[in-house]
Chain A
Amino acid sequence: MSLSSPLTTQAPTSLKGSSFSGVSFAGYAFLRLYLTADADDQAARLTLGSKIWDFTVNTSDTAAYVDIDLVAPTNNNHRRR
């Protein structure tokens, strides 16, 4: 997994450098990222192969995680919680 700065220093060691290459997420509608920011509505992008999801991240007081709709079309700018 590749993380862009400043996230590289805020992710647990177990996730840094973890490899998802070749993994199938089939059977799961959502990828739940326990990703928070120090302010609400901060931009972020997830890329899985050729699929892109732009979404916003909030503080942990607002939402502890973001659900990415894996079944949705790419770059849907859509977040489901």
Chain B
Amino acid sequence: MTDGPLWGVTNVTNFVISNLTADHVYTLTGIELVRKDHATATFLPAMVRPVADPGSTDVAGGWVLQVPQVTSYGTTTTTRVRRFLDRDTDGRRQESEDIVWVHIETESGATTDEYGFYPLNILIGNSSYPQDGWTVTDFAASANEWLSGCQRRFSLFTTATSTAVSRCSMLLGAASISTHRAHQYAFDLDTTSGLTIPAQMLSTAWTGIPAVAMPSGLRAGIMESPSKCGWRKILRNDAIGVVIDSNEKRLKTRPGQS
């Protein structure tokens, strides 16, 4: 936990209203502390962290070994973890959710990857989950209107399935963070139904996305299919919108988007 930009006044030693103009009547009826639109939620916050080789298959980027590697009867289990969601609702950025990645390799070389995290639909549905100062609303339908050449849209609100692409879609699907009057759009991911995305993208390719957005192709070899793809920052502030478009059609933009 670190001090955020809203840490502000932390210890009031005196509270004085003065320098009032003579011969005028001032009326004070109340005092409130307000956040306005400054509460934020950040998904995959490490995504914008630059790495030396974004296309590398080195899984170290963004992932931290959670427990020592375990080998038993020829089967090796490697458990890694990385940040999924940060919240900043009280002036301090807090790590709220992690993704746990368990990679299992048998003696014959067969591998299995399992991912564990709570998608937003679960977090929102859980009334005990802290939501002070922020809410999350699915604006997927609106986001989809901005994009062309999209065959399928996934959402952060979908339920986990067994396919890798669905897991990615839950991480990178469309959503927005609503804080009072403001909405920050988070992510959107579109792809064709036949496209599969290896799990390593979570730790390699996406971390290579620069903060300043220009349409660009992801490196070849990252995708398991030869589909062309492009990414674009379509959102404001620090939120990154990611679009994978197998047709590589030009994306529609709206005023104010970069």
Contact = CB atoms under 8 A, between A and B. Distances in A.
B is a partner of A:
yes
Contact of B12 (A2, A21, A32): A21
A32 B34 contact: yes
Given A20-B12, A30-B33, A37-B27, A44 B38 contact: no
B27 A36 contact: yes
The B contact surface, by secondary structure, is loop
B34 A1 contact: no
Contacts of A42: 20-21, 24, 26
Determine the interface band of chain A, counting residues with CB < 8 A from chain B.
35 or more
B6 interface: yes
Interface string B9-53: 111111111111100111111111111101000000000000000
B92 interface: yes
A49 B9 CA distance: 9
Given A4-B20, A28-B6, A48 B12 contact: yes
Determine the interface band of chain B, counting residues with CB < 8 A from chain A.
35 or more
Given A24-B12, A26-B9, A2 B21 contact: no
Contacts of A33: 17, 28, 31
B181 to A, nearest CB: 13
B8 A15 contact: no
13 contacts: A6-B25, A7-B17, A7-B26, A10-B25, A11-B29, A21-B12, A38-B26, A44-B20, A46-B16, A48-B9, A67-B36, A70-B8, A70-B9
